[in-house]
């Protein structure tokens, strides 16, 4: 984990240093980018030297079907053997299942990222059909940073606000561009190295079972293959909510390239520090405190949903841990409060996006496309055998804790009761008495009364530590319930950015505490059922990008880039709102970007859209509309000609044309307005 720690700190602190230098210097330059990368490299060396990763005894999670040990008696291996094995470097990587998963991950990474963005003749193309809009936005942000825009920047896709996006990984790629690393090469190598980091992080957190769980997540959708005999991304259908994490999130949501390995590194660190047998001998834990703090506190700059999930894990550690754990968690969260608040304020336009967290129970169960006739049908179609297996795991761990007496923890039950009571009281205050919040209120009061009675008879449990599976599964349940009860984005499906962490938390314990205890043939059969649907969809998704999807004509993009090079980087353009507009792909600011991006960021743009239409059609009052939208330049190209065919284009007579060509023309409104 030393190399993983160093690599993540390099990305983390390079981006943070670049942000601070850009804010101080009113924009990034080649010098500030170089200083940021050098600073990140220096911190990476310190992280490598300070990270502790010795040979320890870890729970077996090294195979999707398990390694069956033979004994002289021929009996099934004991619980102790199923739980632990020596994890030396040679032993750790010798299993066939490790190399099988490594090959599959390499196939996915090479296909997805070597053709992430590529040149085909005179066209720029992409491989993933999911990535046309997302990658265009990331290119816009990278180019926007490279252009030297003042940080934190105004939104390049919305005229009346700051950037509402956790763009840390795009800022890192911008630093690479500023030191003359080609954009396409930077995107490709960032994706490949992030894939390697993610593979290793999953392996150390949940073994090869965890790697398979990431690559081949799925339910029953992929079994349509046996009817069609075609490799297609069956999980990509609009009626399926549990889509391929690798294809629809890891490749498209670039913040996850950093957030997933960083989050898994922190989970591994907390498990090793607080629950492994030699944790008491290493007071500081595997990671230096400053590395732990940096990864956690700056996470909102890269991925807000991962920050929420990690915070839920820390809260679970606090309420389920002993006094030593609570002290460490309190210090960590206290130290992270100011920097994390700073980063959240940046990416939420000074908390103006906070209204995106709304009460919306049911997730997508009531969605027109993804909803089903019943809850049971929804869960079984989307999650298949995973759904009952996880329920069995939770029941088994709970029963085992109850029998051993490890279930009782004052802080845990007090927190559950307080949250239940508080949620019910809030819902009643907002919407009035209804049966659902009334039931939760009664449940919360019952829990409060029960744990008060238990404390009086059993005494406090301040220094008691619950088992690791209870602690992490509690966090997983909390994350899942949050995603089911609240809406964290305008599109309900985006809650998966949070809910996948509940899935990641379950993986190591599902293997260790349930599947690994079964006989070898049963494990093989079960893993085939669990992963075959996701494997079919993954192969179908990887094949879907042949021969690629056109993003934009290179000659048009380069010509527009040359035309706007001399124009102020802070200037706002009026242009047709689309995801692959050449202005956006050159990092320039437009009045409105792609409506899908605006909607997912929770921006109500109806008034601005009406004003933009008035301007681009040349209707009466177009000058006033331009002034209201803070427009400096009007761009008139093929998108505008197609979508505003009846425009009178009065600016062609009354304003100065500052650039033109086969791609269109640009008109400067300033001389006339001035």
Res. 673 pLDDT band, cuts 50 70 90: very low
Q: What is the mean pLDDT of residues 207-236?
A: 93
Q: Cβ contacts of residue 429 below 8 Å, gap of 6+?
A: none
Indicate if the pLDDT at residue 283 is higher than 70.
Answer: no
Q: How far apart are CA 250 and CA 257, in angstroms?
A: 6
Q: Say if residue 223's pLDDT is above 50.
A: yes
pLDDT of residue 485: 85
More confident: 492 or 591: 591
Dig out the tokens for 289 from the structure: 């405190």
Percent of the chain with pLDDT over 70: 83
Looking at residue 82, its pLDDT comes to 40
Asked whether residue 282 carries a pLDDT value surpassing 50, the answer given is no
Q: Give the model's pLDDT for residue 345.
A: 94
Q: How distant is the alpha carbon of residue 83 from its chain centre?
A: 31
pLDDT, mean over the chain:
87
pLDDT band at 446 (very low <50, low <70, confident <90, very high): low
> Residue 37 pairs with which residues in a beta bridge?
none
456-503 pLDDT, tens digit per residue, is: 555 555 567 888 999 999 999 999 989 988 888 888 889 999 999 999
- The whole-number pLDDT of residue 458 equals 55
Q: What is the pLDDT of residue 419?
A: 65
pTM: 0.90
| pLDDT band for position 410 (cuts 50, 70, 90) | low
Q: How far is CA 409 from CA 401, 440, 449, in A?
A: 11, 21, 15
Q: What is the pLDDT of residue 460?
A: 54
- Given pLDDT bands bounded at 50, 70 and 90, which one contains residue 83? very low
**Are the C-beta atoms of residues 223 and 197 closer than 8 Å to each other?**
no
Whether 77 has a pLDDT exceeding 50, the answer reads: no
H-run or E-run covering 552: strand 549-553
pLDDT value at residue 411? 58
| The pLDDT of residue 89 is above 60 | no
Digit-coded pLDDT (tens) for 44-68: 999 999 999 865 544 444 444 444 4
pLDDT surpasses 80 at 355: no
Q: Is the pLDDT of residue 277 over 60?
A: no
């Amino acid at each position: 984990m030393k190399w993983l720690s160093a690599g993540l700190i390099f990305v983390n602190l390079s981006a943070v240093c670049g942000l601070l230098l850009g804010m101080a210097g009113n924009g990034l330059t080649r010098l500030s980018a170089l200083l940021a990368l050098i600073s990140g490299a220096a911190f990476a060396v310190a992280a490598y030297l300070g990270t502790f990763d010795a040979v320890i005894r870890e729970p077996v999670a090294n195979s999707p079907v398990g390694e069956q040990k033979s004994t002289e008696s021929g009996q099934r291996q004991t619980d102790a053997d199923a739980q632990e094995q020596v994890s030396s470097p040679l032993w750790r990587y010798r299993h066939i299942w490790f190399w099988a998963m490594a090959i599959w991950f390499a196939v996915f990474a090479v296909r997805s990222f070597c053709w992430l963005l590529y040149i085909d003749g005179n066209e720029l193309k992409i491989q993933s059909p999911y990535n046309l809009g997302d990658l265009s936005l990331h290119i816009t942000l990278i180019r926007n940073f490279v252009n030297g825009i003042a940080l934190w920047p105004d939104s390049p896709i919305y005229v009346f606000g700051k950037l509402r996006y956790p763009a840390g990984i795009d800022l890192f790629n911008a630093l690479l561009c500023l030191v003359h690393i080609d954009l396409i090469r930077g995107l490709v190598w960032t994706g490949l190295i992030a894939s390697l980091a993610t593979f290793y992080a999953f392996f150390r957190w949940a073994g090869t079972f965890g790697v398979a769980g990431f690559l081949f997540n799925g339910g029953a959708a992929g079994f349509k293959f046996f009817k069609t005999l075609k490799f297609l991304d069956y999980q990509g259908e609009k009626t399926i909510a549990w889509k391929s994490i690798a294809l629809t999130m890891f490749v498209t949501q670039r913040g996850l390239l950093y957030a997933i390995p960083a989050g898994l590194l922190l989970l591994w660190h907390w498990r090793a520090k607080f629950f492994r047998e030699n944790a008491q001998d290493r007071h500081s834990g595997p990671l230096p405190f400053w590395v732990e703090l940096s990864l956690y506190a700056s996470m909102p700059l890269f991925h807000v949903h991962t920050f929420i999930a990690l915070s839920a894990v820390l809260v679970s550690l606090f309420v389920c841990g002993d006094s030593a754990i609570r002290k460490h968690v309190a210090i960590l969260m206290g130290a992270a409060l100011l920097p994390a608040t700073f980063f959240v304020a940046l990416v939420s336009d000074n908390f103006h996006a906070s209204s995106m967290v709304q009460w919306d129970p049911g997730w997508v169960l009531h969605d027109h496309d993804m909803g089903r006739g019943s809850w049971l049908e929804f869960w079984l179609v989307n999650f298949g055998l995973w759904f009952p297996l996880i329920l069995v795991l939770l029941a088994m761990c709970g029963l085992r804790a109850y029998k051993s007496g490890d279930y009782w923890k004052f802080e845990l039950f007090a927190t559950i009761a307080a949250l239940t009571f508080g949620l019910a009281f809030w819902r009643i205050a907002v919407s009035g008495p209804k049966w659902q919040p009334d039931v939760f209120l009664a449940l919360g009061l019952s829990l409060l009364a029960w744990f008060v009675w238990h404390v009086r008879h059993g005494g406090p449990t301040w220094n008691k530590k619950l088992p690791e599976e209870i602690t992490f599964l509690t966090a997983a349940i909390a994350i899942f319930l949050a995603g089911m009860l609240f809406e964290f984005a305008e599109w309900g499906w985006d809650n998966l950015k949070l809910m996948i962490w509940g899935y990641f938390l379950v993986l190591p314990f599902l293997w260790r505490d349930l599947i690994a205890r079964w006989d070898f043939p049963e494990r093989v059969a079960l893993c085939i059922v669990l992963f075959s649907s996701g494997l079919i969809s993954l192969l179908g998704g990887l094949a879907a990008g042949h021969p690629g999807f056109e993003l934009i004509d290179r000659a048009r993009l380069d010509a527009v880039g040359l035309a706007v090079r001399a124009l102020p980087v802070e200037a706002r353009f009026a242009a047709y709102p689309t995801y692959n507009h050449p202005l956006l792909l050159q990092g320039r600011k437009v009045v409105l970007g792609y409506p899908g991006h605006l909607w997912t960021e929770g921006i109500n743009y109806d008034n601005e859209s009406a004003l933009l239409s008035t301007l681009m059609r040349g209707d009466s009052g177009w000058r006033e509309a331009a002034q209201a939208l803070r427009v400096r330049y009007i761009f008139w190209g093929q998108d505008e000609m197609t979508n505003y065919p009846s425009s009178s284009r009065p600016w062609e007579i009354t304003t100065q044309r500052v650039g033109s060509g086969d791609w269109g023309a640009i008109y400067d409104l300033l001389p006339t307005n001035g």
